[in-house]
Structure 1
Amino acid sequence: MTKLSVNINKIATLRNARGGNVPDLLQVARDIQRFGGQGITIHPRPDERHIRYQDARDLKTIVYTEYNIEGNPEKSFIDLVLEIKPTQVTLVPDAIDAITSNAGWDTIKHHSFLTEIVQEFQRNNIRTSIFVDPVLEMIEGAKATGTDRIELYTEAFAHDYGLGNKNGIQPYIVSANLANELGLGINAGHDLSLDNIQFFKQNIPNLLEVSIGHALISEAIYLGLENVVNMYLQKLK
């Protein structure tokens, strides 16, 4: 079975929009695991616009499944990860002002930098994963850094699938086959949803883990909205 790691950034965004502690990020992490989620993912950014660095520290005592911290390995992020020592760190080349991740690493251009970072985390017994586009050269470049896994950036697949183009899966199949040949573990994430996740899973050999946040939280709102509205109506009778 492919593991589901739930990205809870959007819970932090909702909390921060109002101040206070509603929704309670730590309780949400507890509940996701209680509901069967096999991991918790966070992606702290330097401006702490959603996940705060203290959230990352607090979650360390809450997450008993798999703890995955994503981010651009600039100094404050590296220091945070080395302090917490999560199960996995996923290296993502997002710019400081990026709304969300929008590209994988150029693992050839940044070979030396990534190799150094991967080795530092591995020395601290933290599994490493590098965020990459489904491009064979980039996967080969990831292998050369010594990383344990790659995370396939799936926005292009999700976009094509939404348009009815199932052939958009092909670069991901080819990439996964190469990763398997090279002995790299395969994760995936970005815009995966209830609509497309089963098709993706069925076509990607040895998919170890998916990280899903925005779609899952949005779907939870839609699928739970009727129930909550009716609960209010019952109390107002």
Structure 2
Amino acid sequence: MSDDASATTPRTALSVNLNKVALVRNTRHLGIPSVTRAATLCLEAGAQGITVHPRPDARHIRAEDVHELAELLLKWPRVEFNIEGNPFHNLMDFVRELRPNQATFVPDSEGQFTSDHGWRFPEDAERLRPLIEECRQLGVRVSLFMDADAASMADARAVGADRVELYTEPYAAAHGTPEAGAQLERFAAAAQAAHDNGLGVNAGHDLNRDNLTAFLKAAPQVQEVSIGHALIADALEMGYAAAVAAYLQCITDARA
């Protein structure tokens, strides 16, 4: 996956977030469903990346999952391993030890139910800068979880980020409503601004089979989508392979 934002936009990569697999497993003490088995099945079906967000309370992905996935992905050298989290909580410990392909910095509180906003500039700039630089020294790409605010993309670049991940819940909530067009315009402008500032563009949160293609048509700069909840929900009905194939088809349709 190219990091050159000025190059021809490649086909959007699909990274599968496995948090919900771990959430189901954690309701019992049987070790099923297996997070590593889920990863294997998704990769065999064509997913280009695996994402995990190990929160401090370990309510879904646990530290041992992160390590087991890192070991598994040694067998898949072309697959991206993306670890998400707040760099001021537990994320940097994983980054320093495992050096994943990408670290996505997310400004969650420790007990936050789910991610619901991006970093703020200039408020967060100075505390982010040294951690981004540390990641770069470790050879780890940094993506900042950001709201779709075109004006903030220059700030994200100025603190050293390689990419931004656009927080897409507002778009997903508006899909199929009269507000959908305005949201698409806002995200398209943010993606273009990120691209113009030399940033790679990722996207994630509540993307699904119904809204993904339209989003990618409006924001063709997006290099990677991280999808968990909807894909795992679909996999409960379709199986992992069919679910991954369906999302890859959404991506293909957007580029048709």
Same fold (TM > 0.5): yes
CA contact (8 A) 2:83 2:91 kept: no
Give 1:222's match in structure 2, choosing from 237, 245, 254.
Answer: 237
Aligned partner of 1:189 in structure 2 is 204
**Other-structure match for 2:151:** 137
1:62 aligned to 2:72?
yes
Quote how far apart the aligned CAs of 1:73 are.
0.6
| Uncovered stretches (5+) of structure 2, i.e. residues with no partner | 1-10, 240-256
- Which of 187, 192, 196 lines up with 1:172 in the alignment? 187
Separation in 1, partners of 2:176, 2:105: 27
Structure 1 range deviating more: 15-24 or 41-50: 15-24
CA contact (8 A) 2:18 2:50 kept: yes
Normalising by structure 2, what TM-score? 0.85
Q: Aligned-pair distance for 1:205?
A: 2.6
Post-superposition CA distance 1:149-184 (Å, at most 9, x none): 000000000001143533121111111111111110
What secondary structure is seen at the aligned counterpart in 2 of 1:18?
coil
Equivalence for 2:19: 9
1:94 aligned residue: 108
* Cross-structure match for 1:39: 49
Deviates more, 1:147-156 or 1:67-76: 67-76
CA–CA distance in structure 1, aligned partners of residues 91 and 196 of structure 2: 31
* Alignment correspondent of 1:21: 31
Question: What SS does the aligned partner of 1:210 have?
Answer: strand
Contact 2:55 2:90 in 1 (8 A): no
State the percentage of identical aligned residues.
Answer: 42
Aligned AA for 1:211?
S
Gaps of at least 5 residues in structure 1 are 225-237
The C-alpha deviation readout for 1:115-162, integer Å capped at 9, x for no partner, is 111100010000000000011232221111111000000000000114
1:207 and 2:222 aligned: yes
Counterpart of 1:51? 61
Q: Do 1:6 and 1:37's aligned partners in 2 also have CA atoms closer than 8 Å?
A: yes
Moved over 6 A (4+): none
Number of aligned pairs?
224
**3-state SS, counterpart of residue 206 of structure 2:** coil
Partner of 1:84: 98
Which deviates the most, 191-200 or 24-33? 24-33
Equivalent position SS for 2:50: strand
Give the AA of the match of 1:205: P
- Is the CA contact (8 Å cut-off) linking 1:185 and 1:208 kept in structure 2? yes
Indicate the larger mover: 34-43 or 164-173: 164-173
Q: Partner of 2:84: helix, strand, or coil?
A: strand
For 1:59-85, what per-residue CA distance to the aligned partner results, in whole angstroms no more than 9, with x for missing partners? 111122110000001253211211011
- Measure the CA separation in 2 of the matches of 1:152 and 1:20: 36
Cα root mean square deviation, aligned: 1.2
Residue 30, structure 1, aligned to residue 40, structure 2: yes
